[in-house]
Structure 1
Amino acid sequence: MTEAELIIIGNGMACQRLLAELVQQPNRPARIVVFGAEAKPAYNRVLLSSLLSNELPDSAAELVRPDWYAEHNIELICDDAVVLIDRERKLVVSRHGRYRRYRQLVLACGALPLTPGYANKNANNNANNNANDSNRTLRPAICHFRNWQDLATLRLAGQQLQHAVVVGGGFLGLEAAEGLRKLGMQVSLLQRGAYLLNRQLDASAAGLLQQQLMQRGLNIITNSEISSLNYRRGQLQSVALKSGQQLKADLVVLALGIRPNIGLAQQSGLSVKHGIIVNRNLQSSDSAIYALGECIELNGETFGLVAPINAQATQLAQTLCGKPAAYCSEHAATQLKISGIALSSCGDIATLCANAGSFDACTDYLDAELNEYRRLWWRGPYLVGAVLYGDTGLSQQLSQLIKQQQPYHGCRSALLLGKVEPGLINSTATPAAVSEPQQQDAA
């Protein structure tokens, strides 16, 4: 049985970024083995929606050339998830019977999509299924939008079916709905809350977004949830909403969010809560096992954006090569593009919208003709939140003010319009202090 200096479980974007960082280290682990549950090597999940709508070719999602792994002495094992970690013997066992010993182990297991009860084949669905198995537990004509298999399912549906219902008004739900609409389907999108993207936008920005998307042909229903699915002879016919409304449906796409994939870690006896518990060195409760990405929990926080996960990969690569480095969480701006519509937000927008006592004042800008909107939230001289719709050119400046918590004493209206007085925003911030805006739910 061969021993690897390093084994990585999970071959998603977090793993690939870690590998890219490791191969640049002069004292990197000589032998690295990667186990992936999917049949395809790591790809850019952020681009799935663009592939669905045929805006980009499949090749655009490739992160590295197929021969990159062999060039760097990395053994990549696809379509073979690890099912057992023997911590005492430092051994992993895969579904297809592969055994590998390790000196160091990294869990990059990602996250699993949330599945409501009405979508499960049976109520006793195993919550620890890996991402490659998630669709096997779903009733007919229901799928998630999370991986390459889901992309293939939705492409086929776009060719054969007419009516789709997408559940979830977050980024992935909106992108799935727009992609299916562009394939010619009639699409209804259901949002449980009062407005779309309610964690990133305020009601005004969300209203502009909903108006634009409905003008394109999407049927968007807020404050709505499915109560039941109606089948006839095994074929999905419609969905019933809790309001009593019936919607035609040949397909239901679930985009209700994610939860850290902790099943393997839990089975192995590692400390877990919402995610795999790690310290600032991204080390688990076992000193030989580390974790990063969507599967971890650090000081009560979980992660689903590209920027912090990339930062974790950079730090962890140094630690694995003998130069321990601590990861410090930063709240970068979330910058999204929904089918050509640019959005950006920074700060705890959900709390600011729900609690008027969490800020002192707001400044707003709206150009209805150009579909441009901005709102800034203030607490004393400090900017604590920003939402931009249509034109996001100010995103990085505003994000810098929020993250560094430097007081702003200039004209707030001028800041809102991008006419900042010289010297009022520190322009000497280091690159590490100002993270590039990133798309949501990418790792």
Structure 2
Amino acid sequence: MTEADLIIIGNGMACQRLLAELVQQPNRPTKIVVFGAEAKPAYNRVLLSGLLSNELPDSAAELASPAWYAKHNIELICDDAVMLIDRERRLVVSRHGRYRRYQQLVLACGALPLTPGYAELTPGYAEDDSKHLLPGICHFRNWQDLATLRLAGQQLQHAVVVGGGFLGLEAAEGLRKLGMQVNLLQRSTYLLNRQLDATAAGLLQQQLSARGLSIFTNSEIDSLSYKRGQLQAVRLHSGQQLKADIVVLALGITPNISLAQQAGLTVNRGIVVNANLQSSDSAIYALGECIELNGETFGLIAPVNAQAKQLAQTLCGEDTAYCSENTATQLKISGIALSSCGDIATLCANTSADSFDGSTEYLDAERFEYRRLWWRGPYLAGAVLYGDTRLSQRLNQLINQRQPYYGCRSSLLLGLIDNAEKLTAVSQPQQQDAA
């Protein structure tokens, strides 16, 4: 039976970034084995929308060639998910009967797409594939989903996309570019309600509608209509019916904890880890979308990359810790630029008295430009930029590093950085200068 210094379960973007960090370490694990459930080696999921809309070639999504794995003495096993972790014997068993022992184990299992009850063929199905979905229903998360949607663009006419978040918007725009008539359903009052305020979302909806997308807010599917096994339409809670040859689900994700749970590791929403990304078993670590750290889960690339860098050092014997930060998010639709940083949903709801004490806004509706900054005393608490996102990096830095800002807020809002920085130096309180 083969024994490895390190086994990684999951061959997604988190795994690949961890491998890229590990091979740079002078005392990296010698023998590394990677198990992937998909037939295709790791690829960049962020680019799926660009691949769907034919803006990018498939090769653009490749993260590493087979030769790269061989060069670094990494055994890559694709299309063979791990089904069992025996912690006592430090052993993993795969679907196709492979047995591997480990000294250290990393779970990079990712997340599963959320599936509403009306779309399920097998309720409670635990794996991320299409076997549990009714005919005409798919997610937009992996390469198989991409192939399904490409075929739909060639053969079908009417699509309904469920979910007004980033992934739903990107899927809807990609299908529209393939020539389909697309209806987008958002259960909240406006698009991207976790990242934008109502004004920015209104500008976004206006631009997307002008392109030909039909957008329904405050809308959810009540039931599906089939004829001879083929999807024909969806019925909304409002009673309205929409033609639908295919329904694309983009309702968010949930950490994939099933394997960890079966192994008896501590789980909550995600696999519970400490600051070293170590699970309740000292030989098992985890990173990416499957983990939970201090009650927080992760779905963006930037924190996962930071986790991979830290974990690579930990696996090589260094004492390091991961500390999460706010991350700016951006929409990947050509011709539309937006950026968001901070807990915008909470700031917009203003549920607590100390959520923020003021905001600064700029709007040019004709040019589709909008910026809003939320302040808590001298600290920037959140930022939404629409149409012109050049300030994103600077604002993200102010939020994450908790730098007090004493300059002219309007100058900062308008991008007059040089003048704003000069005013910051002049306007700081005397005790700051003395310090």
Matching residue of 2:362:
365
> Aligned to 1:337, what secondary structure does the other structure show?
coil
**1:53 to 2:53 alignment:** yes
Cα distance in 1 between the residues matched to 2:6 and 2:367: 53
Cα distance in 2 between the residues matched to 1:324 and 1:41: 31
Displacement of 1:324 after TM fit? 2.2
> Aligned to 1:212, what secondary structure does the other structure show?
helix
**CA deviation map 1:179-222 (0-9, x unaligned):** 00000000000000000001100000000000000000000000
> Aligned to 2:66, what secondary structure does the other structure show?
coil
Matching residue of 1:419:
416
Matching residue of 1:354:
349
Return the letter of the residue paired with 1:405: R
Cα distance in 2 between the residues matched to 1:424 and 1:387: 23
Q: Which runs of 5+ in 2 are unaligned?
A: 426-435
Matching residue of 1:299:
294
Displacement of 1:367 after TM fit? 1.3
Q: How does 1:131-142 map to 2 (within 5 A)?
A: 131=128, 134-142=129-137
**1:320 to 2:315 alignment:** yes
Return the letter of the residue paired with 2:50: S
Q: How does 1:383-422 map to 2 (within 5 A)?
A: 383-420=380-417, 421-422=420-421
Cα distance in 1 between the residues matched to 2:84 and 2:116: 28
Cα distance in 2 between the residues matched to 1:122 and 1:11: 26
Return the letter of the residue paired with 2:303: P
Matching residue of 1:99:
99
Matching residue of 1:379:
376
Q: How does 1:19-418 map to 2 (within 5 A)?
A: 19-123=19-123, 125-126=124-125, 128-129=126-127, 131=128, 134-355=129-350, 357=353, 358-418=355-415
> Aligned to 1:194, what secondary structure does the other structure show?
coil
Cα distance in 1 between the residues matched to 2:346 and 2:421: 32
- Check whether the contact 1:401–1:425 (CA below 8 A) recurs between aligned residues: no
Q: CA RMSD in A?
A: 1.1
Matching residue of 2:429:
none
Cα distance in 2 between the residues matched to 1:423 and 1:7: 53
Cα distance in 1 between the residues matched to 2:70 and 2:424: 47
Displacement of 1:424 after TM fit? 5.6
Displacement of 1:30 after TM fit? 0.4
Return the letter of the residue paired with 1:25: Q
**CA deviation map 1:119-147 (0-9, x unaligned):** 00143x32x32x2xx31100000000000
Return the letter of the residue paired with 1:342: A
Return the letter of the residue paired with 1:417: L
- Check whether the contact 1:376–1:386 (CA below 8 A) recurs between aligned residues: yes
**CA deviation map 1:99-138 (0-9, x unaligned):** 0000000000000000000000143x32x32x2xx31100
- Check whether the contact 2:407–2:424 (CA below 8 A) recurs between aligned residues: no
- Check whether the contact 1:120–1:137 (CA below 8 A) recurs between aligned residues: yes
Cα distance in 1 between the residues matched to 2:45 and 2:327: 19
Displacement of 1:66 after TM fit? 2.3
> Aligned to 2:331, what secondary structure does the other structure show?
strand
**CA deviation map 1:41-79 (0-9, x unaligned):** 000000000000000000000011221000100000000
Cα distance in 2 between the residues matched to 1:79 and 1:340: 37
- Check whether the contact 2:184–2:213 (CA below 8 A) recurs between aligned residues: yes
- Check whether the contact 2:408–2:424 (CA below 8 A) recurs between aligned residues: no
1:390–1:27: structure 2 CA closer, same or farther, 3 Å change rule? same
Displacement of 1:340 after TM fit? 2.7
Return the letter of the residue paired with 2:85: I
Cα distance in 2 between the residues matched to 1:346 and 1:425: 22
Displacement of 1:423 after TM fit? 4.7
Cα distance in 1 between the residues matched to 2:12 and 2:241: 38
Displacement of 1:325 after TM fit? 0.8
Normalising by the residue count of structure 1, what TM-score does the alignment of the two structures yield?
0.93
**1:8 to 2:8 alignment:** yes
1:149–1:381: structure 2 CA closer, same or farther, 3 Å change rule? same
Cα distance in 2 between the residues matched to 1:260 and 1:350: 21
Q: Which runs of 5+ in 1 are unaligned?
A: 427-443
> Aligned to 1:189, what secondary structure does the other structure show?
strand
Return the letter of the residue paired with 1:167: V
Cα distance in 2 between the residues matched to 1:18 and 1:195: 37
Return the letter of the residue paired with 2:144: Q
Return the letter of the residue paired with 2:192: L
- Check whether the contact 1:344–1:387 (CA below 8 A) recurs between aligned residues: yes
Cα distance in 2 between the residues matched to 1:170 and 1:6: 36
Return the letter of the residue paired with 1:188: N
Displacement of 1:151 after TM fit? 0.1
> Aligned to 2:421, what secondary structure does the other structure show?
coil
Displacement of 1:339 after TM fit? 3.1
Cα distance in 1 between the residues matched to 2:233 and 2:331: 31
Return the letter of the residue paired with 1:156: L
1:66–1:202: structure 2 CA closer, same or farther, 3 Å change rule? same
- Say which structure, 1 or 2, has more relative contact order (CA 8 Å, 6+ apart): 1
- Check whether the contact 2:6–2:105 (CA below 8 A) recurs between aligned residues: yes
> Aligned to 1:67, what secondary structure does the other structure show?
helix
